[in-house]
Amino acid sequence: MSVVIGVDSSTQSTKAAFVDAASGALLGVGRARHTVTGQDGARETDPEVWWRALAEAVADGLRAAGVPASSVGGIAVAGQQHGLVVLDADGRPLRDAMLWNDTRSAPQARALTEALGEAEWLARAGSLPVASMTATKWRWLLENEPHTAARAAAVRLPHDFLTERLCGAGVTDPGDASGTLWYSTADGAYDPVVLELTGMDKELLPQVTPGGGTRAGSLTAAAAEALGLPAGIPVAAGTGDNMAAAVGLGLGGSGLLDHPVISLGTSGTVFAATRTRPADPALAGFAAADGTYLPLGCTLNCTLAVDKVAALLGLGREDAEPGTGLAFLPYMDGERTPDLPHATALLSGLRHSTTPGQILGAAYEGAVFTLLRALDGLLTSCGADPAGQQPLRVIGGGAQGHTWVETVRRLSGRPLVLPEATELVALGAAALAQAAVTDEDPVAVATAWDTGSGRELPPLERDLTTWQRIDSALTGATDTLLT
């Protein structure tokens, strides 16, 4: 049996999926936790934590899969997007990485937007500067820690850092590169105007490969020893987590719009593969792992925010009731879509008769509303009908929760598909690894593995009353949220 490893290095943990290269069967998954530090908008992790977690997850996965290390034929990493990793000449971190959900660079994002103008940003990068994007974090570093920035010998994204540790090559892919702002989705290359504006030297950045399934190099002897794997096996260029999930679902941008997806995780995302290059200020106009397009809307507050509300109320996740009469905007960490980096959560409609379960239900509704509102904008920008009945695929940890799924059904009014595969980011990375081994199209690999199929749920009548109540609350509170 030939085995490939797909790594999902996320905000909170690393997962290493061991996959049968022929059938796509998931043989075992190894796991290791990360540590995230920071307060008042700061969110950081030492990149060395990711490397140690990768070694731990691979060792755990080998035990879980019950296969010999000699059977492993390739590996690829999919990582959390946008993080800023600053390295010295020896490839060692100069400071903890600023993560995607670090909002300290919001002032720099505003300044960059004003300097170039929204239309020019969309034409070049496909996205507007927000605090999540890597280039805004680099500007923050230049202004707040200039001595660290001056010592930088390389700047990497989280998945790039791990790929370089594996094979020694400083490379990235179009998908993850498109989340930096430095990469032009229009030209397929780093944009010199944006590089100059943000104070970035192109020589510090990794080379952009044609796709995430491109072979970046071979597993070095040192990495092989650290991971307990055979030296010399192919290492794929890898990609960002959202791009890998799209590969795992078999989305390839074959038409106008390929299967819209809602992902319910720590953050929430909506995305779809397309060959249409959108230019919508409310969206991140990402490239896909193959260089086509993966427009995406992202919210900072999804399962983590709802779990926080449940904990504050002393309730379990499934103790929710419909939030009758309530409107809850759960923007506990600020918000990215809509762009409200300094927002806090707002709850309106409380009465003496309100129950804790209704408050929790309103938190679910607010999180789902924010995501579906972003989905409507995505569909419109790609020329699709937001009111259509194209099935919506629901993935992420929240897809395993009854209340999450039923809230999405009720507020979307769409049929849902719940893929049976639960590790889609890691499976997508495994497909990239197999592509690096065989030089196949990774989406074709995932399609042959049938990783995107699952249970289908018919549509419910859309709950427009709740939708309009939350929409009115957001419209009325925008001025408050902006302060």
Residues with Cβ < 8 Å from 28, sequence gap 6 or more? 17, 18, 61, 62, 63, 64, 65, 66, 67
Structure tokens at 441: 């199209």
Q: What is d(CA 69, CA 129) in angstroms, rounded to the nearest whole number?
A: 43
Backbone CA torsion sign across 407, 408, 414, 415: negative
241 is catalytic: yes
The strand pairing partners of 455, in sequence order, are: 418
Report CA Rg, the chain.
21
Q: What is d(CA 348, CA 338) in angstroms, rounded to the nearest whole number?
A: 19
For residue 421, give the 3-state DSSP assignment: coil
DSSP structural state of residue 398: G
Marked catalytic residue, from 8, 102, 191, 241: 241
Q: What is d(CA 464, CA 467) in angstroms, rounded to the nearest whole number?
A: 5
Other CB atoms closer than 10 Å to residue 380's CB: what's the count? Answer: 15
CA torsion 407→409→411→415, rounded to 10°?
160
Q: What is d(CA 332, CA 302) in angstroms, rounded to the nearest whole number?
A: 10
What is the 3-state secondary structure of 322-389?
A: CCCCCEEECCECEECCCCECCCCCEEECCCCCCCHHHHHHHHHHHHHHHHHHHHHHHHHHCCCCCCCC
Cα-Cα end-to-end distance for the chain: 58
For residue 68, give the 3-state DSSP assignment: coil
Report which of 103, 240, 122, 239 is spatially closest to residue 181, judged by C-alpha positions. Answer: 122
**Catalytic residue positions, numbered:** 241
